[in-house]
Structure 1
Amino acid sequence: MSGTLPLILILLISSVLAVALFRKLQLPAMLAYFLVGLALGPHTFGVLPDDEASREFAEFGIVFLMFSIGLEFSLPQLYAMRRKVLGLGGAQVFITLALTMCIAKLAGVNWAAAFVIGAALTMSSTAIVSKILAERIDLNSRHGRLSIGVLLFQDIIVVPVLVLIPALGKANANIFDVLGLATLKAIGMLLFLFTVGKWLVNPLFNLVASQRSRELFVMNVLMVTLLVAFATKTAGLSYALGAFVAGMLISETKYRYQVESDIAPFRDILLGLFFISVGMLLNIAEIFNNIGVILLTLLGFILLKAVIVTAVVRFVKYEIGVAIRTGIILAQAGEFGFVILALGAEQKLIAGPTLQVVLAAALLSMVIAPFLIQYNGRIARRLARSYTRNSSQIIEEIDEGSKHLNNHVVICGYGRSGQYLGRFLKEENIPYVALDIDPSRVLEASAAGENVMFGDAARRVVLEAAGAARAKALIISYADNRAAMKILHIAQESYPQLPVIVRTVDDSNMEALREAGATEVVPEILEGSLMLASHALMLLGVPLNRVVKRIRIFREERYSMFKGYFRGISDTENEEIAKQEVRLHSVIITTGAYAIGRCLNDMQLDSFEVSIKNIRRPHANSAHMSNESLLAEGDVVVLLGQPAGLANAENALLMGRVANK
């Protein structure tokens, strides 16, 4: 097929269909891009050309990936996590790299190719691990924090690896001279960019931002990124190093988060193109010819990484169960592994069956990673009896600490809100037990005499040990709706008479939480609005007793006056959430409207599941209007409901008919 447009159309159609399918199956989108590259590449249907122009364009994907890493790179964060990052991360990377290189050399691979293979398989998938840990609410667990620390070091170490690979690709040169020169160039370039570059970037971004043009701002980000990347490439290094440095430079400005938001679409699309180009490297015939070696490599490096990570975590005195869970979580290959393999192939360091075997094994490891991570706790309990005993010990400790309590309060989460609540309860001599999964917080708080224990409140046995059956109330103090839903499900099933109070950020999930069994839902935004209103009324001279009375009435009405909000064009949200969200909507009774001369009671708007919040007549006191008042031209009816019901109610008021009913 000739012509650029048909190729682009085929690429877009294939990518959209593949990504949609993989999202539906809850698999990483990058695997869909690999599949597209494999299907359309030169070794399968040959639709996409494997030429220099395609590879150079795909390299921009690496540029924006490295730019994003640089943008998120934080020296204070690195220092705060130095033990996990430098200690655990460094040990995992260097031990895995050394052992993998030795195994590859024994398999007959030269040292340069062995380095590429070792560096590629050392990496783990930040995208997969962070996503699944966040979904499982495991980011703050011990194995979660250890995994993130190791991943952070891997993200850092990929920068010198990308500097070394082009140096290894230099033919007929002393390797130590080449590496030494590359190191000096990198240091010199970094010093120049972080002195002169930092001095130039801040004024430039201030000037561009003052023009208040989003297009200009995005163009400036692209210009700075590509300019720095080009400078490092010209110096004999790599585009990726320059992009990483550009990200670090911009992260020091106050525009970091705006840049991150604006660049995300470019990054994701170009990254997709890069992964398609990696998929194009796969040769389906060679994969089938070497399927036994691929599966053996897959099993070997997953076990090797899991064992190394487990041993390193165990060495720094973590219990065996936590070590095994961390090892399982980090056992797969990662995005940067493909970046390293692609660069190694470009430098002619690795090719043929060796490249196919490593690529296929790395890809398969990422396919099975979500399933391994999902069951990491179960696997750890099967492999380590002491971990099972330790879990039982945690339950016993919670049971021991709460067995004397009766008619107490169980607080799920002992962060800032949970601690403030605990102080109020203590002042009123109301007994409570708090559960939290942050070990350092639990250690400090319990040392200070607080009745807080380590345990995941989303587990039935933990709630049971905390005495939920004897408790007077259960309070979920952290604003995580997914975790709250899990706890509510357990409470409804096991303790249906137990009152549950849930804290949430806003009112968007109030109904869902109530339907799940919450007795009360406390949205922070609405409570903040009540406090703001009370302070404003007192400053305006309203007597304190009237203010208190009004606030009490509002709370008794369960926030009915505050529920919902008027949506604007700046409000962006998930489409599915937007369809279910309760909001306010004003309907102006225009000339010829059906409702003119009729009262709202006759309109039966409650059949559309909307309620009437207010009726306003221009130049008149709204208090004089009621549901029995006859509507006239110019009246404004304020409705509360979901978007579909509001649309139907508006059609009924204006035209006397219902749309999409």
Structure 2
Amino acid sequence: MEGQFAGLIALLLCAVALVWSFKRVGLPPILAYLLTGLLAGSYGFGWIDNSHEIQLIAELGIVFLLFSLGLEFSIPKLMAMRSVVFGLGSLQVLVTTVVLAVILKYLGFNWIEALIIASLIALSSTAVVVKELKERGILNIRRGQLAVGVLLFQDIAVVPLLITIPLLSQSDNQVLVGALILALAKGAFVCMLLWAIGKWVLPKVFNEVAMARTDELFVLTTLVVALCAGALTYAFGLSMALGAFLAGMMLGESQYRHQLEAEIRPFRDILMGLFFVTVGTQLDVSYVIQSFFYIILVLTLLIVLKLSIIFLLAQLMGERRKDAFAAGILLWQMGEFGFVLVALAGKHQLLSTEAASFLIALGVLSMALTPYLISETDRLVKLLRIDSEGRPGPHEQGFITSSKVKNHVVIFGYARVGQTIARFLRPEAIPYIAVERNPAIVQEALTAGEPVVFGDPTQQEVLKSANVSEARLVIISLNDFDKAQAVIDAVKRFAPEVKILVRMKDDTHLEALKELGATEVVPESLEASLMMVSHVLYMSGVPMRRILKRVSIERQNRYEYLHGFFTGDSQEMKEYAGPEGASYSSDRLEYLHAIALPDDAYAVDKSIAELDLARHKVVVKALRRNGEEISIPDEDTTLCASDVLLLKGKPRRVERAEQFLLDGLP
């Protein structure tokens, strides 16, 4: 037990270190998990054994992945994709299997071996492809829909393969046909059963759970639904992933869809990581080294053959060349169910040990290469001059064509403020490109055809993709000083001459942002105050021209009239400071403080110039004497007993200035 626990700790530490390292250099986490499995498996340090229990837990990652995928694809959406699922999907599996089987037969394999190898190579990796689509925010654009549609049919096609392979060792054809018919009947029944449960039972269950207003209960119910759906299809001899997908699809139209996906995501991501670790444990490095030339050769042929088949079939279905090519890049690899089929065929002596080892190595390496090829899709399209016909899709509008846009506005942050800015730019025919890190916002915006890209605005590649160097204006609407600071620094290094407009909650960092290179800083709270003042003055009868002039002057003076307020007690100071709290305000924010001068005060009978309050870094905003207020009194004004001075400054400085005015202490 102690050895297993130590192995688990070593596995987790290795995974954390590798995922962090890979993310730092811009590589996908999938590669980190595969390398972790390689190090931790029986061919590495042996931290974990690739037992049935470990594989079962890892398979739950695929279950949760397909459940969240089902939430994205409701029944109406799936019906709209039926030509892709049952048209392109069926053709891809059939044509790839036949072509590969003929090639393998020509190379000396018998028909049974050729058909088994061809059918499992025809399958692609749902785990790798869907994870990449989600992370890159391209799940709902055309290339993503083509890939998902084909993957769904492949997952359905796994069922007859799981039934057929054990029966191929028998010679009775009637048994084989009967088993296939029974499998189809089971599949139809369980689909109808899950459809009924999802339509009439699950909405009521989640209504009751939501009424309880308990987060733990909602999470637990989500997990139970996904696992029970998978267990139901598994009990009928189908894959657990298929059941989870059907359950998610049933809930895809409910009002709980986004909450369900949020609750399932942590479990899905962790278990998906474990799944890729188990895949990595199956790679025998010594065998790869021995057969390196042949593996690379077959890997190259696999890319060319499978990509070409998908590319041609998608075009025959009426898809654009660019989307067809991108779908081929997404689907060229072998899939996770291929490992299951290899093990099943080996168990029934339908594949030799050498062939099984070769296929496992081929599958792992193809899955490892896929994220890199996906990231290079656009570059390959340009390199191979695969032109796109017709109107660009939403993804291409936001990313591919961005390099061609000039004299445009770049919006970093496409939440409420960013989207509002875009809505006002559009009617004025001002081109813009938005960059957002929230994949959900990116997906929704891309689906709506808006020019939005997913990425970190501090990365040079993202700035290139948005063509910041040719922009007329960069808008930073992130509402976080540290992030805004990093973005300004990155933009200024990339395009020193571009103008930068920054949106902040208040004016706390106004001067700091100006020094960093921001052209203008818009503090939300101060602008809201100006708008309120404008309405008050207008409703009080002040002419609009005069109001606009006052507001314009205030902006030119950097909101000088709006700085400094009476803050009262510590709670009011905390509210004034915002979420950072009162301690933060004492260091950063300025406020007003009234000081009444008694008869024996040090400042009495001295002029403001003599007191030299500037060395205390405070400002005299007003002087009240005999019920009248003198705004910003002259330096020559002599102070009298009973005068009230209004000082503006940071709290500690105002305290020191008050001691000086009253007692003469420096």
Partner of 2:358: 357
**Which of the numbers 609, 626, 633 marks the counterpart of 2:648?**
626
SS at match of 1:110: helix
Residue 164 of structure 1 pairs with residue 144 of structure 2: no
Deviation at 1:343, TM superposition (A): 5.3
Residue 292 of structure 1 pairs with residue 293 of structure 2: yes
Partner of 2:184: 183
Partner of 1:218: 219
Bigger Rg over Cα: 2
Deviation at 1:491, TM superposition (A): 2.8
TM-score by length of structure 1 reads 0.64
Distance 1:366 1:124 in 2: 9
**CA deviation digits over 1:182-237, x for unaligned, max 9?**
22112111212221343221122122222222222211111222222222222232
SS at match of 1:253: coil
Partner of 1:586: 582
The answer (yes or no) to whether the contact 1:226–1:243 under 8 Å persists in 2 is yes
SS at match of 2:251: helix
Q: Following superposition of structure 1 onto structure 2, how do residues 87-166 of structure 1 map, counting pairs within 5 Å?
A: 88=88, 91-107=91-107, 108=109, 110=113, 113-114=116-117, 116-121=119-124, 125-127=128-130, 130=133, 145-166=141-162
The answer (yes or no) to whether the contact 2:60–2:271 under 8 Å persists in 1 is yes
For the structure 1 residues 194 and 324, does the alpha-carbon distance in structure 2 shift closer, same or farther, using more than 3 Å as the test?
A: closer
**CA deviation digits over 1:314-364, x for unaligned, max 9?**
4456676x3685266336426xx1244235525747673323222322332
**Which of the numbers 481, 491, 502 marks the counterpart of 2:470?**
491
Q: Following superposition of structure 1 onto structure 2, how do residues 330-349 of structure 1 map, counting pairs within 5 Å?
A: 330=330, 332-333=332-333, 337-342=335-340, 344-345=342-343, 348=347
The answer (yes or no) to whether the contact 2:409–2:432 under 8 Å persists in 1 is yes
Q: Following superposition of structure 1 onto structure 2, how do residues 266-277 of structure 1 map, counting pairs within 5 Å?
A: 266-277=267-278
Distance 2:211 2:342 in 1: 43
Give the % identical residues: 26
For the structure 1 residues 208 and 583, does the alpha-carbon distance in structure 2 shift closer, same or farther, using more than 3 Å as the test?
A: closer
SS at match of 1:251: coil
The answer (yes or no) to whether the contact 2:280–2:364 under 8 Å persists in 1 is no
Deviation at 1:265, TM superposition (A): 1.6
The answer (yes or no) to whether the contact 1:35–1:276 under 8 Å persists in 2 is yes
Q: Which moved more, 1:246-255 or 1:309-318?
A: 309-318
**CA deviation digits over 1:96-130, x for unaligned, max 9?**
34423443455525266235423335869425753
For the structure 1 residues 301 and 518, does the alpha-carbon distance in structure 2 shift closer, same or farther, using more than 3 Å as the test?
A: same
For the structure 1 residues 343 and 33, does the alpha-carbon distance in structure 2 shift closer, same or farther, using more than 3 Å as the test?
A: farther
Distance 1:224 1:145 in 2: 28
Deviation at 1:53, TM superposition (A): 2.5
Distance 1:557 1:354 in 2: 77
AA of the residue aligned to 1:296: L
Partner of 1:573: none
SS at match of 1:626: strand
For the structure 1 residues 550 and 196, does the alpha-carbon distance in structure 2 shift closer, same or farther, using more than 3 Å as the test?
A: farther
For the structure 1 residues 90 and 13, does the alpha-carbon distance in structure 2 shift closer, same or farther, using more than 3 Å as the test?
A: same
Deviation at 1:69, TM superposition (A): 1.9
Residue 204 of structure 1 pairs with residue 205 of structure 2: yes
Distance 2:124 2:58 in 1: 21
Deviation at 1:45, TM superposition (A): 3.9
Q: Which runs of 5+ in 2 are unaligned?
A: 412-418, 435-449, 506-521, 564-577, 596-610, 619-643, 658-666
Distance 1:339 1:302 in 2: 18
For the structure 1 residues 505 and 96, does the alpha-carbon distance in structure 2 shift closer, same or farther, using more than 3 Å as the test?
A: farther
Distance 1:358 1:35 in 2: 18
For the structure 1 residues 385 and 312, does the alpha-carbon distance in structure 2 shift closer, same or farther, using more than 3 Å as the test?
A: closer
Deviation at 1:626, TM superposition (A): 0.4
Residue 519 of structure 1 pairs with residue 499 of structure 2: yes
Deviation at 1:28, TM superposition (A): 2.4
Distance 1:418 1:346 in 2: 55
Q: Which runs of 5+ in 1 are unaligned?
A: 403-407, 425-431, 438-456, 458-475, 493-499, 564-581, 606-621, 636-661
Deviation at 1:31, TM superposition (A): 2.4
Distance 1:603 1:57 in 2: 66
Partner of 1:502: 474
Deviation at 1:176, TM superposition (A): 2.4
Task: Supply the RMSD in Å over aligned alpha carbons.
Answer: 5.1
Deviation at 1:27, TM superposition (A): 2.4
Deviation at 1:147, TM superposition (A): 2.3
Distance 2:616 2:2 in 1: 62
Q: Following superposition of structure 1 onto structure 2, how do residues 499-578 of structure 1 map, counting pairs within 5 Å?
A: 500-508=472-480, 512-513=487-488, 515=492, 516=495, 517-521=497-501, 534=531, 538=535, 541=539, 545=544, 548=548, 552=552, 556=556
Distance 2:119 2:285 in 1: 22
For the structure 1 residues 510 and 275, does the alpha-carbon distance in structure 2 shift closer, same or farther, using more than 3 Å as the test?
A: closer
Q: Which moved more, 1:528-537 or 1:242-251?
A: 528-537
Deviation at 1:301, TM superposition (A): 0.7
TM-score by length of structure 2 reads 0.64
Distance 1:23 1:411 in 2: 29
Partner of 1:282: 283
Equivalent residue pairs, number: 522
Distance 1:387 1:202 in 2: 43
AA of the residue aligned to 2:474: V
The answer (yes or no) to whether the contact 1:41–1:50 under 8 Å persists in 2 is yes
The answer (yes or no) to whether the contact 1:31–1:363 under 8 Å persists in 2 is no
AA of the residue aligned to 1:491: E
Distance 1:178 1:600 in 2: 94
SS at match of 1:210: helix
Distance 2:354 2:302 in 1: 17
Distance 2:224 2:135 in 1: 34
AA of the residue aligned to 2:212: Q
Partner of 1:309: 310
Deviation at 1:83, TM superposition (A): 6.2
For the structure 1 residues 132 and 49, does the alpha-carbon distance in structure 2 shift closer, same or farther, using more than 3 Å as the test?
A: closer
The answer (yes or no) to whether the contact 1:125–1:333 under 8 Å persists in 2 is no
**CA deviation digits over 1:448-505, x for unaligned, max 9?**
xxxxxxxxx9xxxxxxxxxxxxxxxxxx99998746665564238xxxxxxx233454
Distance 2:149 2:29 in 1: 24
The answer (yes or no) to whether the contact 1:34–1:276 under 8 Å persists in 2 is yes
For the structure 1 residues 26 and 634, does the alpha-carbon distance in structure 2 shift closer, same or farther, using more than 3 Å as the test?
A: same
Partner of 1:22: 22
Distance 1:90 1:600 in 2: 83
For the structure 1 residues 282 and 585, does the alpha-carbon distance in structure 2 shift closer, same or farther, using more than 3 Å as the test?
A: same
For the structure 1 residues 478 and 52, does the alpha-carbon distance in structure 2 shift closer, same or farther, using more than 3 Å as the test?
A: closer
For the structure 1 residues 59 and 479, does the alpha-carbon distance in structure 2 shift closer, same or farther, using more than 3 Å as the test?
A: closer
Distance 1:480 1:13 in 2: 27
SS at match of 1:200: helix
Deviation at 1:302, TM superposition (A): 0.3
Deviation at 1:304, TM superposition (A): 0.8
Deviation at 1:150, TM superposition (A): 1.9
For the structure 1 residues 486 and 191, does the alpha-carbon distance in structure 2 shift closer, same or farther, using more than 3 Å as the test?
A: closer
The answer (yes or no) to whether the contact 1:101–1:117 under 8 Å persists in 2 is no
SS at match of 1:502: strand
Distance 1:600 1:265 in 2: 57
SS at match of 2:474: strand
For the structure 1 residues 76 and 628, does the alpha-carbon distance in structure 2 shift closer, same or farther, using more than 3 Å as the test?
A: closer
Distance 1:481 1:47 in 2: 35
AA of the residue aligned to 1:114: I
Distance 2:465 2:24 in 1: 22
The answer (yes or no) to whether the contact 2:473–2:500 under 8 Å persists in 1 is yes
**CA deviation digits over 1:541-577, x for unaligned, max 9?**
55573765665456546789999xxxxxxxxxxxxxx
The answer (yes or no) to whether the contact 1:412–1:478 under 8 Å persists in 2 is no
Partner of 2:264: 263
The answer (yes or no) to whether the contact 1:55–1:277 under 8 Å persists in 2 is yes
The answer (yes or no) to whether the contact 1:333–1:365 under 8 Å persists in 2 is yes
